Chain A
Amino acid sequence: MGLNELTIHAAHELLVKREISSTELTKTCLDRIEEIDDDLKAFVSVTKEKALKQALVVDKQKSFENETLAGIPMQLKDLICTKGVRTTCSSRMLENFIPPYNATVTDRLFDRGAVLLGKGNMDEFAMGSSTENSAFFTTRNPWNLGCVPGGSSGGSAAAVSARETFYSLGSDTGGSIRQPASLCGVVALKPTYGLVSRYGLIAFASSLDQIGPLTRDVKDSAIVMNGIAGYDPRDSTSIKGTCPDYTASLGKGLEDLKFGVPKEYFTEGTEPGVKKALNAAIKVLEGLGAHLEECSLPSTKYALACYYIIAPSECSANLARYDGVKYGHSQRLAEDMWESMELTRKEGFGAEVKRRIMLGTYALSSGYYDAYYLKAQRVRTIIRSEMNDAFQKYDALITPTSPTVAFNLGAKTADPVQMYLSDICTIPANISGIPSISIPCGFDRGLPIGMQIMGPVLSEVELLNIAFSYEQATDWHNIGPSL
């Protein structure tokens, strides 16, 4: 077994005993990237020299005992700002953008001695569910190179699954870390809205965006959360107060916990293989002492429409900054400033980004604002209250993460609405601001299936315990792709 196949916690133990060095871990990951990334395409850029330098510094200066993330190599989705390291959003618009500062999460990880291997490919500006909207290339699924890895954090999920990196940070606006984690067979946690600072995260839809970890097991997810969660005055949505130790409750068990299984999450489009795996997972949870029952969240059917008004509206406002003046692509072969701006945005944005900006501009425009954006915000309140009511009765909700396993490249590119349906199970958590974790729960036709566990606001400790209990009772997290 190569060092790159270890979990964070296993590698950490070896670092503490000084049986291995961060430099060795880093080199193993870099070798793995060199070996397979021409086929996998999970990285937009690999920061080899920086990684080796960081590893050397950690080996010399850090004590590993008190910091689990020290010396552990990681990847960041390419919309998390890294000072001096190109951050592209997988867009022509930011192809040569070099941030002058670090995102808060980048700083926090660097302070803990994390080693940056490079930046993860994604759908352009995080808009998409397959990485096929990347302006550069499509990432492949490590379980089958003919399939997509999911998206938008597809590069993150593929890199973690293929053992190129120990973990990655992605961003989740409507399922963008959970859906690819499900399709690639890894663990992803979308924290409560406001728990992880978005300072330095290139914005897509600000009332929905949240950063979270993609890891190979649940304990690693808790470890990375310990490294990134917590109040940041530079993000005005940041939640005040101290964070718990996210590893503390792992192993507490499921005795006396009550879970709801909302029937609306098993839609017509849910594949039989996914249903079967979820039913088997429910049996496992019952065997562990939890009480499960079917429940109903009738407003779920409005979530997709609600999301596809709110997200494009906020995206149209956020992406108005790309005007070719201060940074990013700029087309100056124009008569005046307005023409320059139109050409800059025409050339700099891909088709899906343009579609969403136009949709959002329409929804916010004079005469339509009340009918679309305001209406969607009101519907959001209905969905959110229904979800909160469910948590009066249940400790958590159990659903599939994605209605399907990974699909073939090109299968859903022709019809945007088909692609949007990939996120039908993940969107409600963003709308409600609640935490949600996706963990592997089986396979169909050799492709991974994910189970989603949602809990009330700030229930990360409990969610991680539930996920951990299931994981330890099963073997899915130990099975990697043969790539």
Chain B
Amino acid sequence: MFSREDVEHISTLCRIGISEKDIEPYRIQLSHILNQFEVLQELDTENIEPTTNPVSVGTVMRDDEVQGSLTKEDVLHNAPVRDGDYFRIKVVLEE
């Protein structure tokens, strides 16, 4: 079961701002969904390997060759705020 503190903690971890009024609905919904997962506890998975890729192709290697890439203009085209050839963001560290 989720507590209000859990919801606030998770929203901080994933950087999704949530309004005070949304905490309780999220708490109820997430708890309800989490309850559905309990069924998995019935299964003994002690010696079972986890599946990461259902059709494994193994580790993919390639030669380290120089290849073309997108132009600077293409990369910066969708920038919300651009400063010359840089992405501009809000201040991270206090001055």
Interface assignment of B20: CB less than 8 Å from any CB of chain A: no
Q: Which residues of B contact A358 (CB under 8 A)?
A: 7, 10-11, 14, 16, 26, 30
Contacts of A434 in B (CB 8 A): 54
Residue-by-residue, is B18-47 near A (CB-CB < 8 Å gives 1, otherwise 0)? 100000001001101110110110010100
Determine if B14 and A377 form an interchain contact, defined as CB atoms under 8 angstroms apart. no
Count B interface residues, CB 8 Å. 47
A386 to chain B, nearest CB (A): 12
Q: Taking A375-B40, A377-B51, A378-B48 as contacts, is the C-beta distance between A308 and B33 under 8 angstroms?
A: yes
Q: How does the 8 Å CB contact mask read for B53-82 relative to A, with 1 for contact and 0 for none?
A: 111010010100000001000110111110
Cα–Cα, bound, A167→B87 (Å): 39
Name the contact of B16 in the complex, choosing from A236, A357, A362 (C-beta under 8 A): A357
In the complex, A434 Cα to B37 Cα: how many Å?
Answer: 24
Chain B residues, Cβ within 8 Å of A316: 14
CB contacts (< 8 Å) of B70 on chain A: these are 100-101
Set of chain B residues within 8 Å of A336, measured between Cβ atoms: 90-92
Chain B: interface secondary structure? loop
Asked if B90 and A417 make an inter-chain contact with CB atoms under 8 angstroms apart, the answer reads no
Chain B residues closer than 8 Å to A77, beta-carbon distance = none
A433 vs B81: C-alpha distance when bound (angstroms): 41
Residues in A8-37 with C-beta less than 8 Å from chain B = none
**Per a CB cutoff under 8 Å, which of B10, B49, B87 touches A325?**
B87
For the complex, what is the distance from the CA of A349 to the CA of B16, rounded to whole Å?
9
What's the minimum C-beta distance from A106 to chain B, rounded to whole angstroms?
16
A457 and B55 within 8 A (CB): yes
Provide the residues of chain B in CB contact with A433, threshold 8 Å: 53-55
A376 touches B75 (CB 8 A): no
Give me the 6 closest cross-chain CB pairs, A-B, nearest first: A433-B54, A330-B80, A377-B50, A327-B78, A342-B17, A346-B17
Residues of B within 8 A of A (CB): 2, 6-7, 10-11, 13-18, 26, 29-30, 32-34, 36-37, 39-40, 43, 45, 48-55, 57, 60, 62, 70, 74-75, 77-81, 87, 89-92
